[in-house]
Structure 1
Amino acid sequence: MGVKGISGMAVTGTLGDATAARDSSNLQKEAVKFSELVKEMQRNTAMGLAEKNGNTVSGVSSSQIAKNHRLNGDYTQGFYGAFTSEADKKAAPKGLAANVKGSNGKTPVIDKTSDLYAQSMELENYMVKMMLSSMRNTIQHTSLAGENNEYARKMYDDMMYDNMAEAMTKNSSFGIADQIYIELSGQRK
């Protein structure tokens, strides 16, 4: 029984070594494929930017790769592309900005499909997050789930409040983004 066990161990060890070598070889092949794919994507992006700008591009930055001003791994939806209809291109201000008049006495027009408005929404979203965070800090939490889940609870709460702030920004007419858009677009001079 002892000899069988030793030879069985040797066979198992040899098979294990062969499996590990095969897995290592497959992993290296996949790594090479992945790096080639990344290089091809960078070349395509650089060529597209060069054609768009009419010049040569020596490198590609992460801001040029990011689509719709979002970082890889963002779990929020963001505000780019949230408004797409024709009516959104000539919207009237809401909320705080509803009473604003331009230098000519007329109510300004807001293009909700523009990048400036999306950035204005991001800033309003940040302000709403700060408000919700201040409100959240007034809540006392019990330790019914135990102290082991404290980190997970905080992470979940952060994600929940981020999504809540985004929904509030999109759906309730605070008008902060409209006010910011009007000021930055120069319609209130």
Structure 2
Amino acid sequence: MLSNSRIDPSLLAPIDAGLTKAFNIARAAPNNYLNVQTHTQFTVGLWPRSGKCINPGFLIRADGSPWDGTEFDKDPKPNKVLLCIAGIAGQYGANSGGDPTGTYGMLVVDDLSIMDTIIWFEAEHEILLGVDLNRWLATAGVHSHPIMGYGNEAAALRTASDLREAITFVAVDLPVAIDVSDGLLISKQKFCIALTK
């Protein structure tokens, strides 16, 4: 776990639950992935919710992105883009996300109301990056989550449906580095982000 402040202990169980759910769905039929990562291979970064975001989210600077001037852009200046996202996956961990011996990870909004679901959804990208690169590439565009299935829990179906109403899931290959609020910089690469308003 990473955080720039004290981690609220109430977030730990939903983080573990989200990872467990994603791992179980990946291992079960029809996915049948046998070499799925474990909890200890994941780094989860928590970032505080921004008051500029309507739904749970934090700001990233994404100048040069296709969202300049859209309803998602929180910076009115031309060629300056601030986006609200609930989570970001894609080699956030200490090592490359595609390295099966390395650390996988994500950066998510520090919000209990969506924690287990956003962890589950962002973990899907990291799992596929590690065990099925072709499927990761095929699902890296605009899509709905979950991309590997729901499992057998009706409650999860409702949670996922509620979350999809607030979040648009997209993958982006940004031309510049992403500057996350308060100075955290993520280098240029392909990201899967959960874009929200």
TM over 0.5: no
**What is the TM-score with the length of structure 1 in the denominator?**
0.27
Q: What TM-score does the superposition give when structure 2 sets the normalisation length?
A: 0.26
Between Structure 1 and Structure 2, which shows a larger proportion of helix residues?
Answer: 1
